[in-house]
Amino acid sequence: MQEANQKEVMHESQEMTPYSWKVLWFVFFAWVFDAADGTIYALTLPMIREEFGLSLSQMGMIGSIFLGGAVMGSVILPYLADRKGRRWGMAGCIGLYSVFSGFTGLAQNFYHLAMARFFTGAGTGGEWPVGAAYLSEVVPAQKRGFAMGLMQSGYPVGYFLAAAIFAGFVAMNLGWRGCYFILLIPAVMCFWVLTTLQESERWLKGREEAYLDSNKAKVSFGELFKPEYRKFTIIGTFLHIFGGFYSWGLVLWFPSVLMIDFNIDKLTTSYITMFMWGIATIGYVAAGPLSDKIGRKPTLTIFVTSSLICVAFINYLKTIPGVPLSAIYIIAALIGCGMGAHTVLISYSSEIFPSHVRSLGLGLAVAVGKGTAMLAPFLLGVIAQKYSVSAGVLVAVFIGWLMVPTILTGPETAQKRLEDIVASPTIRQ
């Protein structure tokens, strides 16, 4: 049976099938609404604060509660996906963040809001590892980078969608609550994924063999630290730790660099940020096919190193009076391109774990990465206070650059079948 299954995988299609396209578009739209939720929350938070009378400490507490939910979801929901299937894992993720995003619109006080954001965070936290594992198992080896790039481009699309939803509700004087009711729409996808989408064939084969073989591997955290998998677990975890700092530096602090270090007004900053995210969409998509062609390692090195050089140049420009706005836009475009590093990050870390613990391994890496990255705002704040915001971003991106020596310690995965990267035994309940 196992030999027959391996032969079947050997003859997998080298082109995207209708089934793999369905899964790709499904995870793409899941990413869109994931990003839309976070952006709508950021946009509506001042209104929520005013209506509920929240203090700054309460606002910060809700942010921490959301991250706590994300860390928990990054572990529990991938475990469900490895035990019960990728479809059930994705349905759980989308159902959680969609339903509790809607509940945010019904919140009446701090406690309601905190609960809603905790479970929303749990859903979004599990979505990345489960969705990436699902997609990596159903697309051809030659197209995995391309598929992951398109999936990641759902994030900037979600940002723009959220801005449009928010602007529409504000223009019609409908208040902030309706924005969250729109986010109930993804819950419909749960029924669609469970009734229409097929389960991952690789996952199903492992389950079929599990019924025929008494010597079965266990779906557990201990499995990730067995000698044959320990190296991949360490690599994946450190990639996401360093990747977390990379994200904090480029995504959250770049607008502050513009307004504080370069004295650019809020409106112009918003235009530059939107331009950066438009370019980031291209960066996400372009990084995938490039990594399929030249390899994950060279592509990550190119994107992360270019971002580091770019941020170092920002620190130089800060010392020059009268920097032209055109130079700032060029910097923003290069930083947007550098966001493509996340495509390689999620592609690689979804490929290096065996199928029976792929979601769980990726989930553990994401959870530890998110948990460690919670230190980033404090670290960047201390550096920004003592030196400058640009200096803080430079430190964060340098820590992110450590993804390069980390990935160099692992195997190249581009255009390789998952079975050729790391062997996966059968599963024990």
Closest CA to 185 of 86, 102, 88, 89: 102
Distance CA 329, CA 208 (A): 54
**Chain centroid, CA 203 distance in Å:** 22
Mean pLDDT, the chain, whole residue set: 84
Chain mean position to CA 109: 30
Please state at what angle helix 154-171 crosses helix 266-294, rounded to 10 degrees.
Answer: 150
Measured in whole angstroms, the distance separating CA 18 from the mean position of its chain's CA atoms is 25
Over 60: is that where the pLDDT of 10 sits? no
Higher-pLDDT residue of 13 and 134 is 134
Partners of residue 143 on adjacent β-strands: none
- Dist CA 427 CA 206 (whole Å): 6
Q: What is the pLDDT of residue 206?
A: 65
Q: Which two tokens stand for residue 372?
A: 């460690």
- Residue 343 confidence (pLDDT): 92
3 pLDDT tier (thresholds 50, 70, 90): very low
Q: Position 212: which residue type?
A: L
pLDDT of residue 238: 94
CA 154 – CA 31 distance, rounded (Å): 5
State the pTM of this model. Answer: 0.82
pLDDT of residue 217: 57
Q: How confident is the model at residue 226 (pLDDT cuts 50, 70, 90)?
A: confident
For the stretch 243-277, pLDDT in tens is 988 887 777 778 878 888 888 887 888 888 889 88
Structural domain spans, the chain:
2-212, 219-411+419-428
d(Cα 144, Cα 345) in Å, to the nearest integer?
12
Band (pLDDT 50/70/90 cuts) for residue 212 is low
Q: What is the mean pLDDT of residues 147-162?
A: 88
State the average pLDDT over residues 191-204.
Answer: 80
Superfamily classification of domain 2-212 = MFS general substrate transporter like domains (1.20.1250.20)
User: Is the pLDDT at 356 greater than 80, yes or no?
Assistant: no
Phi, psi of 217 (to 5 degrees): -80, 150
242's tokens: 């360093």
- Please name the residue ranges forming H helices in 105-226: 110-138, 144-152, 154-171, 177-182, 187-195, 201-212, 221-224
The CA distance from 176 to 169, in Å, is 7
User: Could you check whether 2-212 and 219-411+419-428 share the same CATH topology?
Assistant: yes
Q: How sure is the predictor about 407, in pLDDT bands with cuts at 50, 70 and 90?
A: very high
Exposed (0-12), middle (13-18) or buried (19+): which is 419, by Cβ within 10 Å?
A: middle
**CB of 223 closer than 8 Å to CB of 359:** no
Determine whether domain 219-411+419-428 maps to CATH 3.40.50.720.
no
pLDDT at residue 196 in the model: 81
Pick 196 or 109 by higher pLDDT: 109
Sequence length of the chain is: 429
DSSP H or E segment with residue 347: helix 341-351
Say what angle helices 358-373 and 227-247 make with each other, to 10 degrees: 40
Q: Is the pLDDT assigned to residue 294 strictly greater than 60? A: yes
pLDDT digits 0-9 by tens, 41-72:
888 888 888 888 888 778 778 877 888 888 88
pLDDT at 310 over 80: yes
Q: Mean per-residue pLDDT for 23-37?
A: 89
Count H helices, E strands: the chain? Answer: 22, 2
Strand (E) or helix (H) holding 262 = none
- Asked if residue 373 has pLDDT above 90, the reply is no
* Residue-level pLDDT at 269: 84
Q: What is the pairing mode between strands 217-218 and 427-428?
A: parallel
Query: Residue 87: what residue type?
Result: R
Q: pLDDT at residue 214 above 60?
A: no
| Per-residue pLDDT tens digits for 119-132 | 998 998 888 888 88
Sign of the CA dihedral with 155 first, then 77, 60, and 247 last: negative
Two tokens at 130? 């489960």
What 323-326 contacts at long range (C-beta under 8 Å, 24+ apart), as own/partner pairs, is 323/262, 325/264, 325/268
What is the structure's pLDDT at 234? 93
* Mean pLDDT on 226-230: 84
Mean pLDDT across 15-26: 87
Q: Which two tokens stand for residue 24?
A: 């790709």
